[in-house]
Amino acid sequence: MNTRTAYFDRLFVEALNNKIPQIVLLGAGYDSRAYRFAKLIHGTKIFELDIAPTQDRKKKCLKKTKIDIPQQVTFVPINFNQESLKNILQEAGYQSHQETLFIWEGVSYYLTAESVDATLEFISHSLPKESLIAFDYTVSITEDNMNCYGVKEFARTMKEHHANEELLFSIAEGEIESFLAQRNLKVVEHLDNKEIERTHLIAAQGSSMGQITGHFRFILASPKAP
C-alpha cells in the first residue's frame, strides 16, 4: 500500500508541476492527494469520481477535520458499472480536448472485464495523445506464481475476510503490452513487483525495506498515435 501511494503521488505531483490542465481520479474513494498537495495546485482542474455515498462521507470527514476542499476540485458521483464515464465527465465540466492524467488506483481488479474495457476505450479514443492513464493491476494467479511472495496469503485473506470484494479482473503475465495495444494504448512505464521494490523499497543506505505481494503491477500508458 505504501509503494502504491508513493508511485501515484509522484505522478500526481509531476502533473501539477507541469501544469497539466486536468487530473481525473477514477474511483477516488478517500484519496487525499488534492489536499496533501493543495499548495501545488494552480490552474489544474481535479475531478474526483466515485459513488455518491462514499463522496458524501468523505466531504463530512474533510469538514470535521477542518480540511478545506480546493476550489479546483470537483466531486463527480458515478456508478462505473451503470453510467457512461464520457457523459458524466462532460456534464461535470471535463474538457475532452485538454491533456489529462487519469489515476486509477486500487480499482481495476474489482471491476468486470467489460467495465475495464469501457474505461480504457474512452481514454484511448477521446483524448489528446499526450494524456496518460496510470493504474495498478494484478497478473492472473497460476501455479507458476502462487508461491511468489505473499500471493497465496493474499488469495486466502481475500477469500476469508473480504468475500464481498471479489477480484474480478486480471491480466496474464507478460501480456500487458499486447492487452493495451488491442485497446489503442501504449506502455509508457511498467513496473513488476521486483522493479517496484527496487524503486520504492530501498533505504538510503541501500538495504531492502520489504517486499510487495508478488502479483501486483503498476502501469503508465498513453493513447497510441492514429
What are the pLDDT digits (tens) for 51-93?
999 999 999 999 999 999 999 999 999 988 788 899 999 999 9
Q: Which residues pair with 100 in a beta bridge?
A: 22
The pLDDT value recorded for residue 88 is 95
Its pTM stands at: 0.93
Q: Tell me the pLDDT band of 207, cut-offs 50, 70 and 90.
A: very high
- Name the residue among 102, 77, 128 with its Cα closest to residue 12: 102
Q: What digits encode the pLDDT tens for the residues 6-18?
A: 999 999 999 999 9
- Closest C-alpha to 12, from 112, 126, 103: 103
**Three-state SS for 57?**
helix
Q: What is the pLDDT of residues 125-155, one digit of tens each?
A: 877 889 999 999 999 988 888 888 988 898 8
Residues in CB range of 106: below 8 A, 6 or more apart: 4, 27, 29, 136
Cα 6 to chain centroid distance, Å, stands at 12
| Whole-angstrom distance, CA of residue 153 vs CA of residue 5 | 22
Give the closest residue to 15 by CA, choosing from 49, 54, 52, 43.
Answer: 43
Query: Does residue 111 have a pLDDT over 80?
Result: yes
29 Rama sector, left if φ>0, alpha if ψ -120 to 50, beta otherwise: left
Q: Are 217 and 145 in contact (CB under 8 A)?
A: no
Coil/strand/helix, residue 177: helix
**Count of domains in the chain?**
1
Structure confidence by residue, pLDDT tens digits, 92-106: 999 999 999 999 999
**CATH number of 16's domain:** 3.40.50.150
Domain of 40 in residue numbering reads as 2-223
- Burial environment of residue 79 by CB neighbours within 10 A (0 to 12, 13 to 18, 19 or more): exposed
DSSP-derived secondary structure letter, 71: T
198-222 burial by CB neighbour count: b if 16+ within 10 A, else e?
A: eebbeeeeeeeeeebebbbbbbbbb
